[in-house]
Amino acid sequence: YVGQEKVRPFTGWANYSFALDWARPARQMIATAWYYLTTDQWRYDGARAESIASPLGSGSFAGRTTADCMVYSARRGWTPSYPTFTRNPLDLADEAAAAGMESAEYIAQKLTDGSLGFACEDPDATQNCPRLLANWRTNLLGSSAKGTEFFMKHMLGCENDVNATGLTEGKRPTDIRWRDYTPPGKLDLMWTADFRNTSTTLHSDVVLPAATWYE
């Protein structure tokens, strides 16, 4: 029933969640892509992008995987990707100010000279891993997650049932760095606000009990 959930106090909630008092509209990353990279499911997915390409297309999907297309899209600014860069954006903003440049100009310069990259190009690098996940109104691990075993192994680093093998050379993405060693659990902290006892609360570091979802 994905898509049927409704947030009653949406206006107030959205302002806090997406910092709308700073900038509008919020540039939100699609959750499917975020989990796809964070849970390392891209390391097992052998689907080729050209299989869904139009026969009238220019062939831009040829030789690409789904993960390659995600990187391609992020590089061109077509879709937000978080974490965005291989360095802390707060540090980049400070450096831009010290250099007397606008942040966008400074970052474009660093991307061009190769001293800065996109985090999605190397999602298993320690500095590119997300560290905090907040759950509200979701039983992520017991219901919503597709490929829960990969969430357990790569995102949380706990007992799991992964029996898939990673892609072999020649089938791997070309625009993402392949690391033979992947961190056993990327998150440092996962907290959940819920009034139920669920698979997600049982795996959370912190549980905030509530009388209702709106408390």
Q: pLDDT, tens digit, for every residue of 152-204?
A: 999 999 999 999 999 999 999 999 999 999 888 999 999 998 888 889 999 99
Give yes or no for a contact between 200 and 139, defined as CB atoms under 8 angstroms apart. yes
| Distance (Å) of CA 24 to CA 14, 18, 19, 28 | 11, 9, 8, 11
Contacts of residues 121-124 at CB distance under 8 Å and 24 or more positions apart, as own/partner, are 121/71, 121/86, 121/175, 121/176, 121/177, 122/86, 122/176, 122/177, 122/179, 123/37, 123/38, 123/40, 123/42, 123/176, 124/40, 124/177, 124/179, 124/182, 124/183
CA distance 51 to 65: 10
Residue 1 is predicted with a pLDDT of: 45
> Which residue's entry shows tokens 């106090």?
9
Please give the mean pLDDT across all residues of the chain. Answer: 90
At 120 the pLDDT is: 97
Confidence of residue 10 (pLDDT cuts 50, 70, 90): confident
- Segment among 2-11, 15-24, 37-46, 102-111 with least mean pLDDT: 2-11
* pLDDT confidence band for 211 (50 / 70 / 90): low
Q: Name the phi and psi angles at 90, rounded to 5.
A: -65, -40
Rounded Cα gap, residues 118 and 112, in angstroms? 12
Contact of 193 with 184, CB cutoff 8 Å: no
DSSP for 168-181, please give it.
PTTSS-SSS---SS
Predicted confidence at residue 200, as pLDDT, reads 93
Q: Rounded mean pLDDT of 12-39?
A: 89
Question: What per-residue confidence (pLDDT) applies to 185?
Answer: 93
Q: What homologous superfamily does CATH list for 10-81+118-209?
A: Nitrate reductase alpha subunit (3.40.50.12770)
What burial class does residue 81 get, using C-beta atoms within 10 Å of its C-beta: 0-12 exposed, 13-18 middle, 19+ buried?
Answer: buried
Q: What is the pLDDT of residues 28-75, one digit of tens each?
A: 999 999 999 999 999 999 999 999 999 998 998 999 999 999 999 999
Place of tokens 């061109």: 76
- Nearest-angstrom CA–CA distance, 14 and 25: 11
- Backbone φ and ψ for 140, nearest 5 degrees, come out as -55, -50
Q: Can you tell me the mean pLDDT for 106-112?
A: 97
In this predicted structure, the answer to whether residue 4 has a pLDDT above a threshold of 80 is: no
pLDDT at position 106 over 70: yes
> For the chain, how many residues are written?
215
pLDDT of residue 8: 67
pLDDT at 58: 92
Residues 6+ apart with CB under 8 A from 200: 135, 138, 139, 140, 141, 142, 192, 194
Q: How confident is residue 26, by pLDDT bands cut at 50, 70 and 90?
A: confident
Residue among 143, 145, 202 at smallest CA distance from 31? 145
CA distance 40 to 164: 12
